[in-house]
Amino acid sequence: MTKILITGGAGYIGSNLLKSISNNNFDVTVVDNLMFGQNDNILKKISNFKFVKGDVRDKPLMKTLIKNNDYIIPLAGIVGAPLCDKMPKEAQEINSDSIRFICENTSKDQSVIMPVSNSGYGVGEKNKYCDENSPLNPVSLYGKTKVEAENYIMEKENSISFRLATIFGVSEYRMRTDLMVNNFVSIAFQKKKLKLYEPEFRRNFVHLTDVSSAFLYSMKNFEKMKNNIYNLGLDDANMSKLGLCNKIKEYIPEFDFEIVIGEKDPDQRDYFVSNEKLKSKGFEAKVQLDTGIRELINYFEKREI
């Protein structure tokens, strides 16, 4: 039976991934320090797996866990530019240093599949999509730590890196409302008003379900995909922030967004992304932005009730 270690498995991506792999024949171990107050008893209802409450910076613990698994999926992280700026030491230790430790303590027969962020592209060319060969120019500590982590795993054999677009969608056990689509829908639903800075800035988005599906696909097709970097996003969701607001307004007509002229967005990322390389390997993100927006509205309606 294939053995998998997932760090940060109680997080936004991890808890959704556990639901996805519950119907597959895997022996799964999750390590998480539950820093966001998750309840591990709730998590255990998802599927049959071993849970270890621990920190990826605990080197003796990690060394023991790493050696017993075929696949390592490192999801533990200080995620997002604002949180990394508040916790720079932890961001460096968890997002980058812990990945170096994993790579140093896995054998050539063990495989690492890791999500990083396409935020490493920073600011792309106006009339050109960023692909996996585009220069990296991260504009945040978060982006820099993810670029470092990717370098570590690509120096190791038997690794795959997914450069994730900004994720959207509902995660039942560890929801995040700081991500752009989730955040804008939350504001549109609850407050109805939003100040929109630099509306022409571009992003690529991907649904949480497609991220989990990509991990499963890559494990089942590892030999043809290994030792490569792949952008993972939804082609139909390459859009500007203004385009996203207009899309949300289709579902929440009373949503009033004010374009603010002359002020900068703290997040200076601006790029569209090509996902052709991953599609050439047989995987394509499919969950549409419209589906995610409806899902999020339903989630916020239930919470309000």
Task: Tell me how far apart the alpha carbons of residues 12 and 103 are, in angstroms, rounded to a whole number.
Answer: 23
In a domain, 197, yes or no: no
Any bridge partners for residue 30, and if so which? 6, 51
Q: What is the pLDDT of residues 59-73, one digit of tens each?
A: 999 999 999 899 999
The stretch 37-59 carries a mean pLDDT of 79
User: Is residue 7 a part of any domain in this protein?
Assistant: yes
Q: What is the pLDDT of residues 258-302, one digit of tens each?
A: 999 988 888 888 899 999 999 999 999 999 999 999 999 999 999
Based on the structure, what is the number of domains in the chain?
A: 1
Write out the residue range of the structural domain in which residue 84 sits.
2-168+207-233+276-285
Q: Provide the angle, in degrees to the nearest 10, between the axes of the packed helices 289-304 and 241-251.
A: 60
pLDDT of residue 49: 84
Q: Is the residue at 128 inside a domain? A: yes
Residue 298, in any domain of the structure: no
Residue 248 lies in a domain: no
In angstroms, rounded to a whole number, what is the distance separating the alpha carbons of residues 196 and 185? 13
Local structure of 26: helix, strand or coil:
strand
Residue 78 has pLDDT above 80, yes or no: yes
Least confident of 19-33, 84-98, 238-252, 285-299: 19-33
> Would 181 be classed as within a structural domain?
no
pLDDT of residue 43: 66
In a domain, 79, yes or no: yes
pLDDT 10s digits, 95-120:
999 999 999 999 989 999 999 989 88
Total-model pTM: 0.94
Sorted by sequence, the CB contacts under 8 Å of residue 246 that are 6+ apart come out as none
**pLDDT greater than 90 at residue 81:** no
Q: What whole-number percentage of the chain has pLDDT above 70? A: 96
What amino acid is encoded at 128 in this protein?
A: K
pLDDT of residue 46: 64
Could you give the CA distance from residue 159 to residue 222 in angstroms, rounded to a whole number? 9
**Domain-embedded: residue 82:** yes
The CATH number covering residue 114 comes to: 3.40.50.720
Which helix (H) or strand (E) segment holds residue 167: the answer is strand 166-168
* Whole-number percent of the chain with pLDDT over 90: 75
**Band of residue 38 on the pLDDT scale cut at 50, 70, 90:** confident
Check pLDDT > 70 for residue 121.
yes
Q: Decide if pLDDT at 45 tops 70.
A: no
d(CA 60, CA 296): 40
pLDDT at 264: 85
Question: What value, to the nearest 5°, has the Cα angle with vertex 208 and ends 177 and 14?
Answer: 85
